[in-house]
Amino acid sequence: MTPFSYHRPDSLDAAAAALAAGGPGAKILAGGQSLLLALKEREARPSQLVSLASLGELRGTRTAADGGLEIGPATTYAALAKTVFPGWQQEIATVAGNLADRSVRNIGTIGGGVCQADPRYDMPVLLSAADACFTLVSTRGKRVLGTDAFFNKAGGTHIAADEILSAITLPPLGQWSVLIFEKFRFRTFEAAVGTVALAVRFDDTVKIAEARLSVGVVAKAPSLATKAMQSMTGKAPAELPIDEIAAAASEEVLPLASALTMQQKYQSELTISLVKRALRRLTAKGAGHE
């Protein structure tokens, strides 16, 4: 690592001020599970680290004013995995408990993973399907970005150098009926080679009123399979032509004509399989909703 100074502010305002004062060489330290890897390799060479360790307000979950679920970005995956959330929001806990490994989950944070936004990470894809919002604060004020605005299609996020992610907010319970995450890894605890997340709201007749289908890994940011999503609306889960939708979704996010490397060909096939699995789970849940 190259040398840096270390600050541990005791309020969010102080942290924002430290970040602004530090200029482009200042970086936020949450759990450090992504950042430290880059530091040790000398790929990241910050002059200053601003630790969020004393900011209790960035940890834990609470209900937002509009009924949404506000997750503190400095909440560890382990803490999330132990929390019981209502309804479809429980998928957050399930996914949090099934990534990285025990030791990394104990200190790695959801905010850290989301800001790193590696295409193989789970949370960005899950949050993208759930249509989460991201609150960013700086000395210049506060702004809220939707998922599509938050993740950068060229990789990473659109967080400015002086901004701190202060909340990840899931929509209120009524927004969705079901949230499903599917992934495939070669080994038990490593980054996924394929991820798919599906959020669905049923109407009163248990037909799909709205669907968001997000696919990870194949591009630098989570990709929404919008045409596949549209084709699902208005149908009951049992009526869905699963194979067709899966093939269409895969083709949409990674057209076969562009899948030239072996890795891409596999991703294409895997996306089909994971979408099928998600749709089968949807059908099972749809049946349970009657």
Partner 1 sequence: MSKISMKINGRTVSADVDERMLLIEFIRDVGLLTGTHAGCYEARCGCCAVEMNGATVKSCNVLALQAEDAEILTVEALSTQRVAPISHITTQTLASVYKPLDAKASHLADLHPLQTAFHECHALQCGFCTPGMLMVLKGFLEENPNPTRGEVREAISGNLCRCTGYQHIVDAAMRAAAVMRGETVDDIIHETA
Partner 2 sequence: MSMDSLPDKSSNQQPKNLVGTSVPRTEDLALLTGTARFIEDLKFPGMLYAKILRSPKAHARIKVDTSAVLGMPGVHDVMSGPELVGKVKPWGDVMQDLLVGDHFPFAVDKVMYEGHELAAVVADTRYQAMDALEAINVEYDELPVLVDVEDALAEDAPLIQEGINYEFGDGNIFDRYRVRIGDIDAAETEADLVIGQRFTTNRQSGAALDPHGCIANYDSFSGVLTLYSTTQSIFMLRDNLADALQMPRNKVRIVAPEIGAGFGAKVQMFSHEIVACLFSMRLGRPVHAVLSRADIFRSGTCRNGQIRHSELFLKKTGEIIGYREYIIQNSGALSLWGNQVVHIGTNVGLLPYPIPNLYIDGEIVHTNTAPGGALRGFGIPQIIFAKEQLVEMAAERLGLDPLDIRAMNTITRGQCPVTTPIGQRVDSTSVDECLQKAAKEIRWKEIRANKPHNEGVGMAISMKYTSCRHPSFDTDLSAVRLRLETDGTVTIFSSDVTHGQGHATFLSQIVSDVLGVGFEKIMLAPPDTANAPFGLGTYASRAAAVLGTACRTAAERLREKIVAIAAHVLEADPQDLETGNDRVYVRGMSDSGLYLENLASFSVYRTHQLPPGFEPTLESTATYDTPTDREGSDGSGNFSVTYAGSSHAAHVRVCEETGRITILDYVMVHDTGTVINPLIVEGQHHGGFLMGIGMAMGEDYVYDSEGHLLNATFAEYQAPQAADMPELNHCFEIPAPSLTIPGGQKGAGESGTGPVPAVIANAVAHATGVRFTALPITADRMLLALREKARTGLKYFRYPDDMPDFTGPRDVASWPKPKGEMELFF
Q: What is the DSSP letter of 238?
A: G
SS (H, E, C) 39-79: HHCCCCCCCEEEECCCCHHHCCEEECCCCCEEECCCCEHHH
Cα–Cα distances in angstroms (integers) from residue 286 to residues 10, 97, 177, in the given order: 47, 25, 9
Check residue 40 for interaction with partner 1 (CB under 8 A). Answer: yes
Could you tell me how far CA 273 lies from the centroid of its own chain? 21
Between CA 5 and CA 79, with CA 30 as vertex, the angle to 5 degrees is 155
Residue 199: CB minimum distance to partner 1, A? 27
| From candidates 175, 233, 273, 283, binder to partner 2 by CB under 8 A | 273
Both structure tokens of 78? 């382990």
Among all chains, which residue has been given the structure tokens 């200042």? 26
β-bridge mates for residue 201, sequence order = 210
- Interacting stretch for partner 1, rule CB under 8 A, among 27-35, 64-72, 155-163, 220-228? 27-35
96 counts as binding partner 1 under rule CB under 8 A: no
Distances (CA, A) of 138 to 13, 20, 141: 8, 8, 5
Residue 254 interacts with partner 2 (CB under 8 A): yes or no: no
Q: Which range, of 12-20, 146-154, 209-217, 262-270, touches partner 2 by CB under 8 A?
A: 262-270
The answer to the question of residue 78 lying near partner 1 (CB under 8 A) is: yes
Binding mask 190-229 for partner 2 (x = CB under 8 A): xx-x------------------------------------
3-state secondary structure of 233: coil
Q: Is 193 in the site for partner 1 (CB under 8 A)?
A: no
- 223-257 burial string, b = 16+ CB within 10 Å, else e? bbbeebbebbeeebbeebebeebbbbbbbbbbeee
Shortest Cβ distance from residue 98 to partner 2 (Å)? 12
CB 67 within 8 A of CB 173: yes
Which of 11, 25, 36, 152 touches partner 1 (CB under 8 A)? 36
Contact indicator for 131, 174 with CB cutoff of 8 Å: no
**255 forms part of the interface with partner 2 (CB under 8 A):** no
Candidates 33-41, 173-181, 217-225, 239-247; binding stretch for partner 1 (CB under 8 A): 33-41
Binding partner selected for residue 104 from partner 1, partner 2, none, CB under the kind-specific 5 to 8 Å limit: partner 1
Q: If you write DSSP's letter for every residue of 162-205 in order, what string do you get?
A: T-EEEEEEEPPGGG-SEEEEEEE-SSTTS--SEEEEEEEEE-TT
Among 17, 38, 51, 264, binds partner 1 (CB under 8 A): 51
* Piece of the chain touching partner 2 by CB under 8 A; list 5-13, 72-80, 85-93, 269-277: 269-277
| Binding segment (CB under 8 A) for partner 1, from list 56-64, 181-189, 204-212, 240-248 | 181-189
Interaction site with partner 1 (CB under 8 A): 1-6, 8, 29, 32-33, 36-37, 39-40, 49, 51, 53, 78, 100-104, 106-107, 187-189
Interaction site with partner 2 (CB under 8 A): 1-2, 42, 184, 186-191, 193, 262-263, 265-266, 269-270, 273, 276-277
